[in-house]
Structure 1
């Protein structure tokens, strides 16, 4: 079988083939040739309105279809409202070309408006372009900037009708192309390895356009649709020192955010054409680093493979480790803020024993490190740390399992309130007493956030249920504290005093 028609087992294999066979060079040369032709005909200044130009080249060993837009126009068009997504359901009656991507499990896919508008503008030329495809030769579809987005859409339009057993599969190579669809589109394409391996996206560390539709480089606003764009295919993230190959969607998003080299020289988007020319010249003399993140998730930071990725990116000048770590910890903070809700959802879904069975590994590892680094002095200190008392409002709950314990206590209250004969009432009461001691010890050391006293928190829901169960005659250090609502404010200001008597 001709290698150009083979299904590649990995993005690394595809990337190495494209570089070694000079397909990458020929693709970029086709873009440059079209750019020169248009510049000679119309002058160097692009038209103020975005437009896409195309050209078909029949070479002895392949057919190349090229789509070109000016990067400056692409940038402006996206920033001026072209970042919206159009659902396939909206296009079903007027332009159902991508309806074949929808399935029962994935009923809708959404496509970037700017890319779709440009693709629709050449709708009348699609029959001609398809007629130029020679099934006996490899088909290369290429484009830059939003022209690359149009190239991707044209390639997608071919996937429904092509019989890969008799036809050489198309290969779409884009340069500096923005993302073109949502997770529905990414899922539809990635579901079929043959389809996914048709796309190779080359991105320079100095090109803003591929990053326009993802935060923090998204100029349209963090609350817009642009936060749901997802990549597909293989990405080559490049600098003048080399490139690295990535296939895993989340890694691509993370690294697109982290690898942009902000420089005043990058303010003219049209200059990126020169950047890609230099990248192509150097690329064939450099080794393509393999993407190992397809088997290692970002949240497993202790894995040596993750460290290798950062080392490789450093070596080719793509990213500084500080940027990767900053990005990682931003994600961890976001996850930590959502942790109580995740634990509540775990129990609502019928889960049990979150601490041992449902908790992510990195939380267990962090807890282990915290316990290992806690000094004997800290362990023996009976009173709260002075700095904690002074900064209670900014304190975080130290025990990552706190909210899991709260959910377990809520479960015990529900069982005791249900009057079910099968409930081991003494066992559940014993659990609640242990929970009281646990919470009191945390509060005494100001090791729990004052946010637990918010009326809608799971902890306050537990307290309301627990108060009904214990009645008015029951007394313990925690219940005595909780019955006086003034103590909530005193705790929040670090002024609550804790008696030394035992429970």
Structure 2
């Protein structure tokens, strides 16, 4: 590893530096630590550009300071306070999900249909964390999106990973709130920051070698709009029962294809099949509507009870 103190070499020299050889360690003490942080942020930017241009070997600099003042104010400390808080709130949400699973419920329906005093208290605490996370990520995504194309076209991998995790945990709760208010077509009115996070995630996967198909269900449903599809299927079924047009039948069959592909790809979490979930209630009503003679791959899977061993 190389160890450098800020100011030893010019900014011009580092603009042309090859970052693929070995990690750079930047150190500083007191005000020197403040400069070390700024110096490191400059190099982080340079590595971002290297990665954007296709580098797979560029190494990010490491910053070690002693008694350095904090950099930035309360609204801009991406490497200190803000990122630690975001992780804390996500950890709480993951705890909430785990508690619901241990009680035999999925967290989407538990959040949407909170009834008991305990459930409502948990829901209110989740709402608090949900609002803070949404505020944080909306601001961050907006800042990244307004950057020049070369700088902002792709989030750093660690930010992108955190953003994907946030989207898959929090967006279902926004979906629950949306449909609780009697709205329809969430996907057509989806918040922009979720769309951008998903787009950046998909762009990041382009050109990567595809791995073998999963043989085990994910613990967190990959499509953060999954429950919006379920809610729309519930609405479609209601329209069909009330004599809706044949286009509703076509759309609901499209949902069947969607959920069947998700099952085959192990891209939905097992808790979507828990008794009393919105999906299972929809299936129960849909099975009655279609009649005992109805046959499809998804219908056979559900009728045979194979979903109970989905893991």
- TM-score, structure 1 normalization: 0.32
- Relative to total residues, which structure has the larger strand share, 1 or 2? 1
- TM-score, structure 2 normalization: 0.49
